[in-house]
Structure 1
Amino acid sequence: MASLGSIVNSGKLHLVQHEKWVVAPKETNKISLDVFARSAQELVSHQSEILSAASPAQILQYIQLFNTAWTTAKLAQNKISASPKGNNKPIQFSSFSKQYSWLSNFFQTLIFDESKGRILSHVEGGYVAFKAEQAEESEFIEGVIQEFDPATAKAIGSHVERPKTAIDEMYRLEVLKFAQNPVLTNLLKNSGTAPLEEYTSDSFWGTAHGTIRSDESNQLGRILELVRATL
């Protein structure tokens, strides 16, 4: 069986099917999302092999290829949807909102963080790892990076306080997320100028379910609007 390093270097999309990596067919829209998820898990779990065998440019190219197919399949299978064009009403999003879950930090998409030598499967893992670094709690960083379930990753780092530089780091991670997923880039651009609001109980990153709208709330929504403005 081909090594993950050679698969990434091949420039061709491969997926895990029947316990083996195989070249994906040209039409991937109808492939089970479980196949994509399993493949993404394998890539993240064995990232050390990839990082040592492929160049940053090759890794980035493969991740963009993988994310395009994976996210397009989610759209085709109605797991997510685009925002309506020409509508400036606030877009309220959370991981529980199927339509706009792609704006959430829980949305699963591969992220190559070259500066830290990591491959993540969601922004949440990268942010929790950052919190651990700032708190000098390095013992659970590797586990968080490789944790495929974002809710579990968040729970692992729930005891760590939010760093003072949290907003800067979140912006950096969001830029990576959208830059490495062409489909998400288009979805975000097509949201136009509609306000983006994280509709969760969090009163800092979100709006406390729409009950708080102040300069100190909805920081994630504000960050995403900044990212959108750079596209």
Structure 2
Amino acid sequence: MRWKSLPYSDRLAAGEVLAEWLVPLGLDGAVVLALPRGGVPVGHAVARRLRGSLDVLVTRKIGYPPQPELGLGAIAEGGAPVLDAGLLRRLGLTEDDVAPIVAAERAELERRVRVYRGDRPLPETAGRPVVVVDDGLATGGTARAAVRATRERGPSRLVLAVPVAAAETVGSLEAEVDELVVPAAPLDFHAVGQWYLDFGQLTDGDVVAWLARPREAG
């Protein structure tokens, strides 16, 4: 299959392209876990095409307080924090130093879980194929936390699928999953949003609406 030309019109369109790349893998009926917020429209299209179930897997980046956009690692629900040990060393930080940041992000993670899923637990994934979906990968920190947390829950097959990713990030994540599906991996990658015409920010309400949207209706 040829590389996808960019940009995508929006996240749903990107998900439709991604789904076509997933079809040959024989993933009918897979559990699709989308990383909110941006991964949920993508996951909607994937779950519809694969005739699978859709839910969220909530993650949070662990940012460096003086420069919040700099990710020290990430956490995903049900998993342990995944920290960038090399970056911590360069910044002169220990895991104990970032423990308060981790605690704050875990509290926000739990708040979002309640908003998105209420009292409903994560879907059962033991012995089932699982596709973890996001709208793109820059550094891949949150995706790494997500797939490691998912791996601990015993899926029969673990796939990470995103419409676009930084080329160097693709290589760093391949060993974490059984398959990594990326229709486009441009070398001149600066941010996920540059590869979408419409990359508007989504709200918690948008996520809840996408999860409730009938997939047969598109």
What TM-score results when the alignment is normalised by the length of structure 1? Answer: 0.28
What TM-score results when the alignment is normalised by the length of structure 2? Answer: 0.29
- By percentage of residues, which structure has more strand? 2
Greater relative contact order: 1 or 2 (C-alpha under 8 angstroms, separation 6 or more)? Answer: 2
- By percentage of residues, which structure has more helix? 1
